[in-house]
Amino acid sequence: MRFPAIGLRGRLAVSIALIMAVALGVTYVAVYRGTGSDLRDQTDTDLAREAANLSRSMAAPPALDPGGYTVRAQRLVSAQPYSPASRLIAISVIGGGTATNQPELLGLPGAPLPGSGAAGSQDEGGREDDDRESAARLLTSGRGFSTIEIEDAGELRLLTDAVSLPGGSQATIRVGQPLAPVDRALDGLSRTFLVVGLLTLLLATAAGWFLASRTARPIRRMAVVAGGVDGGELSSRMPIDETRNDEVRRLAESFNLMLDRLEAAFTGQRAFVADASHDLRTPLTIIKGQLDVLSRDPDPAPEDVRRVTSQVRAAAARMERLVEDLLLLARTDSGLQAELEPAELGPLLAAEVEAFSETTERSVELGPVTGKTVAIDRERMARAVSNLISNAIAHTSGNGRIEVGAVERAGRIEITVDDDGPGVPADMRERIFDRFARLDTSRSSDSGGSGLGLAIVKAVAELHGGEAACTDSPLGGARFSLSLPSG
């Protein structure tokens, strides 16, 4: 059988109630046993004191014969009649007799036994047998403490001691205390504990439910907000109680921070998808349009075929570059690990400068390059440098100047690409490394590229434990730098 879930509040309240019940149970056992032990110890102490007083009184001079000691014993016990609330005293003098405040309890000759009044039935006869057995146990008890069950009186705590009397006589002193008051006190304690414990348990359960409700309230609100997020509502936030400084507040702040990052990620993703769709749609439109033009002519001229083929190839190459850029960024986001190996930057930078010098009218030069070895991923670092040079070419005039170098600065290696173009406004120097970011928003992607080149530079820098930055160039334009650890 499965029980319905009671929720966090219910589990906390039940847990508090169970803990309280266990604590009350342990406390009850400890108090009950401790109180019972204390009462019994006190009874034993009182009995020992009473027996000592009787021993001193019996042994007081002058010396008497056994009969005289018996008379003395009778005087000592005659003022203390036995009842369930008083002590039993019995003094037996060897060669004399036994003096007691309850002769019928001891079954002494000539004393009627309890319950022996009328002609006995079978039950009364059994009761007389029990009384005789109790009397026999009392009169034959050994020295020290013992507990004896007495009919109609319950348990009796008995102390038996022997005393030597002047004149060579011996006496046995028995002092007994009924345990009924102790039992009644313990029963009263149990009833009180039961009532108080139940009330305490009910109050603790109610208080636990109240505290659990207050504790779980922020979590319930968080569940509501999380449900809204699951439904697409990313603007909801957890209210922050400024008066609190505990785990709940820190949890709410962390939850809101997570929602901020999640909302920013979703916003960026939507913008990324929109920009990627736009940049992919443009070459697809070119390809589709050129093929439609070619298909309308049943016998196209060779020069038309060559023109369409050239344009389709260019559009396809552009799509291929865009897809490769997107794939590289996606792999970087997914935790791609760089394949680092020690290398000098001089040959890598020289190869990139030479490649661009042959394909552009700009003056692409190699500046000073440190000879220090750096741990890099050659392929991805070459791609980043290539993107920086391509970006510089796109933003310089036909006779522009571009200089590539690498210097050691402040314990790091800094790859720099300087140009003499228009530069980058200060307020755009951080955003320019975002994906699909372009300085001239009115410029089409045909002239402005895909907008992923500098984002790839930033990703490669972070992959190497470095960073990318944009500052003013000594050439008058922009300086794009890629800073790497030198170790």
List C-alpha distances in Å: 186 to 25, 39, 92, 181, 183: 15, 9, 34, 9, 5
My answer on whether 20 and 54 are in the same domain is yes
Average pLDDT over residues 67-77: 86
Instruction: Classify residue 61: in a domain, yes or no.
Output: yes
Burial of 274 (0-12, 13-18, 19+ CB in 10 A): exposed
Picking from 410, 421, 355, 401, the residue whose alpha carbon sits closest to that of residue 382 is 355
Cα dihedral 178, 182, 185, 189 sign: negative
Cα dihedral 97, 102, 105, 109 sign: positive
Instruction: Classify residue 199: in a domain, yes or no.
Output: no
For the domain that residue 88 is a member of, what is the CATH number? Answer: 3.30.450
My answer on whether 51 and 148 are in the same domain is yes
My answer on whether 349 and 322 are in the same domain is no
Helix H or strand E encompassing 6 = none
The confidence band for 289, taking pLDDT boundaries of 50, 70 and 90, is confident
State the Cα–Cα distance between residues 27 and 216, nearest whole angstrom. Answer: 30
pLDDT tens figures, 233-244: 777 777 777 666
Q: How many residues does the chain have?
A: 487
Any residues with CB less than 8 A from the CB of 107 and at least 6 apart, and which? 113, 131, 132, 135, 136
Any residues with CB less than 8 A from the CB of 143 and at least 6 apart, and which? 160, 161, 162
State the Cα–Cα distance between residues 397 and 259, nearest whole angstrom. Answer: 45
How distant is the alpha carbon of residue 204 from its chain centre? 23
For the domain that residue 271 is a member of, what is the CATH number? Answer: 1.10.287.130
**Domain total of the chain:** 3
Cα dihedral 101, 104, 106, 111 sign: positive
What is the pLDDT at residue 446?
45
What is the pLDDT at residue 481?
92
Q: Is the pLDDT of residue 451 over 60?
A: yes
My answer on whether 408 and 429 are in the same domain is yes
The confidence band for 480, taking pLDDT boundaries of 50, 70 and 90, is very high
Among 159, 187, 215, where does a domain finish?
187
Average pLDDT over all residues of the chain? 80
Among 163, 187, 211, where does a domain finish?
187
Instruction: Classify residue 229: in a domain, yes or no.
Output: no
**Which ranges of 334-452 would DSSP assign to H, the alpha helix?**
345-357, 378-394, 445-448
State the Cα–Cα distance between residues 211 and 199, nearest whole angstrom. Answer: 18
Instruction: Classify residue 128: in a domain, yes or no.
Output: yes
Helices 453-463 and 378-394: angle between axes, nearest 10 degrees: 150
pTM greater than 0.85: no
My answer on whether 252 and 375 are in the same domain is no
Helix H or strand E encompassing 197 = helix 180-230
My answer on whether 343 and 324 are in the same domain is no
Higher pLDDT, 32 or 329: 32
Instruction: Classify residue 240: in a domain, yes or no.
Output: no
Q: Is the pLDDT of residue 122 over 80?
A: no
My answer on whether 377 and 316 are in the same domain is no
State the Cα–Cα distance between residues 82 and 90, nearest whole angstrom. Answer: 11
What is the pLDDT at residue 367?
92
The DSSP line for 324-362 is HHHHHHHHHHTTPPP--EEEEHHHHHHHHHHHHHTT-SS
Amino acid identity, position 145: F
Sheet holding 401-409, edge to edge: 363-369, 401-409, 412-419, 478-485, 467-472
3-state secondary structure of 462: helix
First to last CA, the chain: 65
Q: Is the pLDDT of residue 117 over 90?
A: no
% of the chain at pLDDT higher than 70? 82
Which letter does DSSP use for residue 398 in this model? T
The confidence band for 218, taking pLDDT boundaries of 50, 70 and 90, is confident
Instruction: Classify residue 217: in a domain, yes or no.
Output: no
The confidence band for 442, taking pLDDT boundaries of 50, 70 and 90, is very low
Which letter does DSSP use for residue 14 in this model? H
Tokens of 247: 């785990």
For the domain that residue 421 is a member of, what is the CATH number? Answer: 3.30.565.10
What is the pLDDT at residue 450?
59
State the Cα–Cα distance between residues 444 and 446, nearest whole angstrom. Answer: 5
State the Cα–Cα distance between residues 367 and 392, nearest whole angstrom. Answer: 15
Q: Is the pLDDT of residue 80 over 60?
A: yes
What is the pLDDT at residue 417?
95
395 contacts 420 by C-beta, under 8 angstroms: no
Cross-strand bridge partners of residue 174: 90, 160
The confidence band for 1, taking pLDDT boundaries of 50, 70 and 90, is very low
Q: Which domain holds residue 446?
A: 338-485
Q: Is the pLDDT of residue 282 over 60?
A: yes
17 contacts 10 by C-beta, under 8 angstroms: no
**Buried/exposed code over 166-198 (b: 16+ C-beta within 10 A; e: otherwise):** eeebebbbbbbbbbeebeeebeeeeeebeeebe
State the Cα–Cα distance between residues 130 and 116, nearest whole angstrom. Answer: 12
Which position has the token pair 């879930």? Answer: 5
Instruction: Classify residue 232: in a domain, yes or no.
Output: no
Q: Is the pLDDT of residue 443 over 50?
A: no
What is the pLDDT at residue 132?
76
Instruction: Classify residue 476: in a domain, yes or no.
Output: yes
What is the pLDDT at residue 455?
87
Q: Is the pLDDT of residue 2 over 70?
A: no
Average pLDDT over residues 250-269: 78
My answer on whether 392 and 466 are in the same domain is yes
What is the pLDDT at residue 389?
92
My answer on whether 323 and 377 are in the same domain is no
Q: Is the pLDDT of residue 440 over 60?
A: no
Q: Is the pLDDT of residue 113 over 70?
A: no
What is the pLDDT at residue 268?
66
pLDDT tens figures, 324-362: 777 777 766 666 667 888 989 999 999 999 988 888 888
Average pLDDT over residues 103-132: 57
Cross-strand bridge partners of residue 162: 172
What is the pLDDT at residue 197?
84
My answer on whether 280 and 365 are in the same domain is no
Q: Is the pLDDT of residue 416 over 90?
A: yes
pLDDT tens figures, 149-178: 877 668 888 999 999 988 888 999 999 888
Q: Is the pLDDT of residue 194 over 80?
A: yes
pLDDT tens figures, 358-382: 888 889 999 999 988 899 888 889 9
What is the pLDDT at residue 336?
64
pLDDT tens figures, 6-27: 666 677 778 888 888 888 888 8
State the Cα–Cα distance between residues 325 and 409, nearest whole angstrom. Answer: 30
